[in-house]
Structure formats: C-alpha cells, structure tokens
Amino acid sequence: MKKSLLKVSLIFAVAVMMTSCYTFTATVGNGPQTGAKVVSHNHYLINGLAPISTAKTKELVGDAKDYSITVSHSFIDGFLAILTSGIYTPTTVTITK
C-alpha cells in the first residue's frame, strides 16, 4: 500500500510539473501575414538572472510591419536547465512574419 501511494504521488508530481512549457507571445500590427518563421535563442545563467546573449529581434524582424514574437521554454530548453541545475537556462525566440 505504501509503495503504491508513493508511485502515484511521484507520477502526479511529474505530471503537474510537466503540464506545459512557459510561453509568451506579443503581436505587432495585424499579426503574422506570410507565415515565415525565424528562430533564435536567448542564453541566460542562474535561472535567467544573468543574460549571456539575447536575440536581436529588430534585426530578425527586418522591415516587417506585421509580426508576432513568441518567447518560450521548449522541452530541450527545460532539459538543459534541469541538466545544469539551473546554471544555464536557454529560451527560444520565434518571430512569425
């Protein structure tokens, strides 16, 4: 009984922690028109407190007037953060024109 309760608790804890990845989206103008995507990465240290390098969004957007920017923690980003115990924490930046 005790082992069964422990297994269920562990599965529940993993399910709660892995429900979704962090995502933030900002839409500029009328939003994406062509569907063209550009992907870049932000690199941080100490759980995002110290930036190493960030995506140059103005360069990635170019002269587009309508686009959206999505910043997210993908599965790979989260895996790298867990693997390094939060020392290295990347994020993925996707610009859709």
Give the span between the Cα atoms of 54 and 26, in whole angstroms.
17
* Residue 59 structural domain: 21-96
Q: How sure is the predictor about 18, in pLDDT bands with cuts at 50, 70 and 90?
A: low
pTM exceeds cut of 0.85: no
Confirm whether 77 is domain-assigned.
yes
Q: What pLDDT shows up at residue 17? A: 66
> pLDDT tens, 56-88?
888 888 888 888 999 988 888 888 888 888 899
Residue from 2, 28, 17, 22 nearest 97 by CA: 28
Count of CA atoms in the C-beta half-sphere (13 A) of 39: 5
Give the span between the Cα atoms of 93 and 16, in whole angstroms.
25
Count of CA atoms in the C-beta half-sphere (13 A) of 85: 0
> pLDDT tens, 20-36?
567 888 888 887 888 88
Q: Tokens 């922690």 correspond to what residue?
A: 17
If one counts the domains in the chain, the total is 1
Confirm whether 36 is domain-assigned.
yes
